[in-house]
C-alpha cells in the first residue's frame, strides 16, 4: 500500500465531500474511486466491510464510512481529520444559507421564493420516507413492512409515542419477526 | 437553551437515526413540541438549508442549532452530527463479520420501515405550515415525483421551487 499523509487524506475528504452533491451514496462512490481504485490505500474487501458497517452505524452513514475508511488508513488522527474535513465546510455553508433565510425573511419577493422551497421541503421529506420504505417492499418482506409502517404511523400520530420508543419497538419486532436476508 | 442540553438533544436525534432525515421526528418532538425553542417553519427552512448545501444529508441539524442558539448552536449541531460517526471504529474492530448476522439485519430493516412512518408523521405539521395554496401543493407534489422518478440532486429542486415561488408572486 503506498503511504498516505494526513494532509493528503484530509484534502481528499475535503474535496470529494464538499464538491459532491446528492448525499451519501454518490460521495461514497467517489471516495471508492479515490481510495480504492486510485491510491490503493484500501482494498475492495475492506471497502465492502466499511460500507456495510456504515449502513448500520447510528447517525450519518457517510460520516461513519469516512471515519472508518480514514481510521483504517491513518488511525484515529486520520478518522478525525476526515470527518472534520467532510463536515465543517459544508456546515458553514448551511449556516450561511440559514442566515440568508433570516435576513430575507421580511422581503416579499424573497419570501415568495423561500415559500416555494419550503413547499418543496415537504416533497423532499416524503421522498426520504419513500427511499427508506422502497427497499423493504419486496417479496417475503411485504407483510412485515406493511405492519411495521402502519404501526409506527399509528403509534406516533394517534398515540404521540416518542420516536425513540417507536424505533426501539421496531428493532425488537425485527428480532422476533425475522425474514430471510440476502448474503 | 443551555448549549450542553442542546448538544445532548441533537446527539440523541442523530444517534437514534440511520440516515439524513430520519432524525427529524426526534428533533421535532424535542425542540418543537417539548422545549418549544424551534418552530415548524424554522425546521422546514433547516431541511431546505441542509439539502441545498453539498456534503452529508444530515447537516440540517447544523441549521437547527443555528436557529436555536445562533453560531454557537450551529457549532453544537455540527459536533452532534460528527460524534456518532466514530462509533463505527470500535464496531469495525470488534463486530466485523457479526454485522452480517440475520438478526442484526432484520432489526435494522424494521427500524428503517418505522423511521419512514415517523418521517411521514413529522411531515404532516410541516406541510400544514408550508402548503398554503394550490401552487405550494403543486411544488410539493412535483418535488416528490421529480426526486423519486429522476433521482437527480435536490439542489435542482430547491432552485426550481424558488423560481416557481417567485414567478407565482410576480405573475
- pLDDT score of A70: 94
- Residue A30 forms contact with B (CB below 8 Å): no
Of A22, A171, A173, the CB nearest to B153: A22
On chain A, the residues whose CB falls within 8 A of the CB of B96 are 49
CB B32, CB B40: distance < 8 Å: yes
| Subunit contact B63:A149, Cβ cutoff 8 A | no
Of B55, B121, B155, the CB nearest to A90: B55
In whole angstroms, give the CA distance from residue A162 to residue A156. 7
In whole angstroms, give the CA distance from residue B167 to residue B50. 24
- pLDDT score of B20: 65
Q: Hey, which residues 113-132 in chain B have their CB within 8 Å of chain A?
A: 113-124, 126-127, 129-132
In whole angstroms, give the CA distance from residue B108 to residue B17. 11
| Subunit contact A174:B56, Cβ cutoff 8 A | no
The pLDDT tens digits of the residues spanning B103-149 come to: 878 887 887 788 788 878 878 877 887 888 999 999 999 989 998 88
Q: What's the DSSP call for residue A59? A: S
Q: What percent of chain B is modeled with pLDDT above 70?
A: 93
Query: What is the full per-residue pLDDT of chain A (183 aa) written as tens digits?
Result: 567 889 999 998 998 887 765 566 667 777 777 787 778 888 877 776 787 677 778 888 889 989 999 999 999 999 999 999 999 999 999 999 898 888 887 788 877 887 888 888 788 778 878 877 888 898 889 999 999 999 999 998 888 887 778 878 988 999 999 888 766
* Cα–Cα distance list, A151 to A157, A164, A174, B115 (Å): 10, 14, 13, 11
Residue B95 pLDDT exceeds 80 = no
In whole angstroms, give the CA distance from residue A95 to residue B96. 37
Please tell me which residue of chain A has the smallest CA distance to B157: A120
Q: What's the DSSP call for residue A102? A: H
Residues 6+ apart with CB under 8 A from A160: none
* Number of Cβ atoms within 10 Å of the Cβ of A141: 19
| Subunit contact A175:B106, Cβ cutoff 8 A | yes
Disruptive mutation site among B110, B161, B171 for chain A (greatest number of A CBs within 10 Å): B110
Please tell me which residue of chain A has the smallest CA distance to B87: A57
In whole angstroms, give the CA distance from residue A168 to residue A161. 11
When the pLDDT of each residue in chain B is averaged and rounded to a whole number, the result is 86
On chain B, the residues whose CB falls within 8 A of the CB of A86 are 55-56
CB A153, CB B124: distance < 8 Å: no
Closest Cα in chain A, distance from residue B93 (Å): 10
Q: What's the DSSP call for residue A40? A: -
On chain A, the residues whose CB falls within 8 A of the CB of B86 are 67, 79, 83
- pLDDT score of A183: 60
On chain B, the residues whose CB falls within 8 A of the CB of A177 are 106, 110
Q: What pTM was computed for the model?
A: 0.72
- pLDDT score of A25: 66
What's the 3-state SS for chain B? CCHHHHHHHHHHHHHCCCCHHHHHHHHHHHHHHHCCCCCHHHHHHHHHHHHHCCCCHHHHHHHHHHHHHHHHHHHHHHHHHHHHHHHHHHHHHHCHHHHHCHHHHHHHHHHHHHHHHHHHHHHHHHHHHHCCCHHHHHHHHHHHHHHHHHCCCHHHHHHHHHHHHHHHHHC
ipTM of the complex as predicted: 0.73
Burial annotation B71-105 (CB, 10 A radius, 16+ → b, else e): eebbbbbbbbbbbbbbbbbebbeebeeebeeeebb
In whole angstroms, give the CA distance from residue B127 to residue A154. 18
Closest CA to B80 of B131, B8, B148: B8
CB B99, CB A183: distance < 8 Å: no
Closest Cα in chain B, distance from residue A1 (Å): 20
- pLDDT score of B145: 93
Q: What are the boundaries of each domain within chain A?
A: 6-102, 137-176
- Residue A105 forms contact with B (CB below 8 Å): no
- pLDDT score of B1: 79
- pLDDT score of A69: 92
- Residue B82 forms contact with A (CB below 8 Å): yes
| Subunit contact A116:B153, Cβ cutoff 8 A | no
- pLDDT score of B72: 95
Closest CA to A91 of B8, B93, B86, B63: B63
Interface size between A and B, measured as CB pairs under 8 A: 383
In whole angstroms, give the CA distance from residue B74 to residue A20. 22
B83-88 average pLDDT score: 90
Q: What's the DSSP call for residue A104? A: G
- Residue A1 forms contact with B (CB below 8 Å): no
B70-79 average pLDDT score: 95
Please tell me which residue of chain B has the smallest CA distance to A144: B110
A107 burial (CB, 10 Å; 0-12 / 13-18 / 19+) is exposed
- pLDDT score of A112: 85
- pLDDT score of A2: 60
Q: Which three cell numbers stand for residue B31?
A: 425542540
- pLDDT score of A24: 67
Please tell me which residue of chain B has the smallest CA distance to A88: B78
| Subunit contact B78:A24, Cβ cutoff 8 A | no
The Cα diameter of chain A in Å comes to 58
Amino acid at each position: 500500500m503506498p503511504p498516505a499523509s494526513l494532509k493528503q487524506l484530509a484534502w481528499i475528504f475535503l474535496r470529494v465531500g464538499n464538491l459532491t452533491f446528492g448525499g451519501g451514496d454518490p460521495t461514497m462512490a467517489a471516495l471508492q474511486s479515490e481510495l480504492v481504485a486510485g491510491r490503493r490505500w484500501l482494498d475492495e474487501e475492506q471497502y465492502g466491510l466499511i460500507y456495510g458497517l456504515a449502513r448500520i452505524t447510528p447517525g450519518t452513514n457517510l460520516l461513519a464510512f469516512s471515519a472508518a475508511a480514514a481510521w483504517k488508513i491513518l488511525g484515529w488522527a486520520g478518522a478525525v481529520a476526515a470527518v472534520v474535513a467532510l463536515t465543517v465546510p459544508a456546515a458553514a455553508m448551511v449556516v450561511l444559507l440559514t442566515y440568508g433565510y433570516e435576513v430575507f425573511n421580511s422581503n416579499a419577493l424573497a419570501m415568495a421564493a423561500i415559500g416555494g422551497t419550503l413547499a418543496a421541503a415537504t416533497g423532499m421529506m416524503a421522498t426520504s420516507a419513500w427511499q427508506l420504505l422502497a427497499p423493504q417492499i419486496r417479496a417475503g418482506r411485504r407483510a412485515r413492512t406493511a405492519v411495521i409502517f402502519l404501526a409506527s404511523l399509528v403509534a406516533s400520530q394517534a398515540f404521540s409515542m416518542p420516536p425513540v420508543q417507536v424505533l426501539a419497538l421496531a428493532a425488537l419486532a425485527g428480532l422476533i419477526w425475522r425474514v430471510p436476508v440476502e448474503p | 437553551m443551555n448549549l450542553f442540553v442542546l448538544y445532548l438533544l441533537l446527539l440523541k436525534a442523530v444517534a437514534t437515526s440511520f440516515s439524513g432525515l430520519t432524525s427529524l421526528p426526534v428533533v421535532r418532538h424535542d425542540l418543537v413540541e417539548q422545549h418549544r425553542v424551534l418552530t415548524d417553519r424554522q425546521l422546514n427552512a433547516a431541511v431546505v438549508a441542509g439539502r441545498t448545501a453539498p456534503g452529508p444529508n444530515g447537516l440540517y441539524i447544523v441549521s437547527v442549532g443555528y436557529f436555536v442558539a445562533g453560531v454557537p448552536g450551529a457549532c453544537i449541531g455540527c459536533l452532534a452530527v460528527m460524534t456518532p460517526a466514530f462509533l463505527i471504529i470500535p464496531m469495525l474492530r470488534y463486530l466485523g463479520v457479526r454485522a452480517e448476522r440475520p438478526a442484526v439485519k432484520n432489526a435494522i430493516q424494521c427500524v428503517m420501515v418505522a423511521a419512514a412512518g415517523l418521517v411521514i408523521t413529522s411531515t404532516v405539521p410541516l406541510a400544514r405550515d408550508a402548503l398554503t395554496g394550490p401552487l405550494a401543493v403543486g411544488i410539493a407534489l412535483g418535488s416528490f415525483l421529480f426526486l423519486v422518478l429522476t433521482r437527480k440532486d435536490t439542489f435542482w429542486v430547491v432552485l426550481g421551487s424558488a423560481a416557481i415561488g417567485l414567478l407565482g408572486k410576480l405573475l
